[in-house]
Amino acid sequence: MKTIQFREAICEAMSEEMRRDESIYLMGEEVAEYNGAYKASKGMLDEFGPKRVIDTPISELGFTGVAIGSTMTGNRPIVEYMTFNFSLVGIDQIINNAAKIRQMSGGQFNCPIVFRGPTGSAGQLGATHSQAFESWFANTPGLKVVIPSNPYDAKGLLKSAIRDDDPVIFMESEQMYGDKGEVPEGEYTIPLGVAEVKREGTDVTIVSFGKIIKEAYKAAEELAEEGISCEIIDLRTVRPLDREAILKSVKKTNRLVVLEEAWPFGNVSTDIAYLVQSEAFDYLDAPIVKINTADTPAPYSPVLFEQWLPNKDEVIKAVKKVLYK
């Protein structure tokens, strides 16, 4: 094993796959000459050249459409957005073309493409740069949605996403690019749609994904000092959702808290809550609690932002609520 940063895991995954398959290329703003806005493509221009690592104008609608169209001529593009907030400019291409090419062509064309970049908030970036769109994309048939929380998962999942024959939304975080973690020296992949139990427990299940899961880890450590045992599931992929992993854990602990950095209405945690109450209702010893951001645009003020974003104290409060403590 070796210890690398999250950004290096992303770079390694892309580079290894591009060495393996010449039909893969990377396109986006500042991915080439600048080595990526977050240095996640450092050195790739030097290795693969300007025909496979392509700087684009500030035109998400344009380069998203170009990349999607290129899949129909045998290419497997990786599109980087500086943030998924900017993907809204090109979302018509993603929803109405990438997600539907296979069906609307009667299976004549696949659309093997990865759209990747940071999602969610990253401090004082203002309301328009602090949004989480996982549930938007996961709501669309034809798209797969992946949100890793550490370097090991990021590399293995990104390699699988690049090899997938359908469009994959791969969501990262500006605040995770510097995170370090152990990654194998050799080749490995992680299948899409498979969650992982990151911490075994017996009293309550906490389901989360992406960078916000760190708050669950902090809460679990504090709760353990009080004799409360939390089981933490990292979904890693929200579409397809690993339903069995969630149900298996809830049937063991009989309680569920879902932690998600998203607005509270119509999100991933809402769907998880419906899944558990419909398929494991008799196993529940308490109502499900979901923890989300406040139901407002993200504030710029650091004081307000701290109140807006879920934190470990809210997780602790939720766990004690389902335990009636």
129 is catalytic: yes
End-to-end CA distance of the chain: 42
The residue from 29, 60, 174, 260 that is catalytic is: 60
Residue labelled with tokens 């389902």? 322
**Cα-based distances in Å from 117 to 10, 110, 152, 213, 271:** 10, 22, 17, 18, 24
Q: What distance in Å separates the CA atoms of residue 214 and residue 219, rounded to the nearest whole number? A: 9
60 is catalytic: yes
Q: What distance in Å separates the CA atoms of residue 310 and residue 216, rounded to the nearest whole number? A: 10
**Cα-based distances in Å from 65 to 27, 39, 117, 290, 313:** 11, 24, 17, 36, 43
Cα Rg of the chain, angstroms: 20
Nearest CA-CA partner of 5 in 48, 46, 37, 38: 38
Residue labelled with tokens 């591009």? 18
Q: Give the torsion sign (CA, 171, 145, 148, 158).
A: negative
Q: What distance in Å separates the CA atoms of residue 285 and residue 135, rounded to the nearest whole number? A: 28
- What amino acid is encoded at 117 in this protein? G
Q: What distance in Å separates the CA atoms of residue 261 and residue 294, rounded to the nearest whole number? A: 10
Please name the residues in contact with 236: beta carbons below 8 A apart, sequence gap of 6 or more. 146, 147, 148, 149, 153, 157, 190, 194, 195, 196, 209
Active site (catalytic) residues: 60, 129
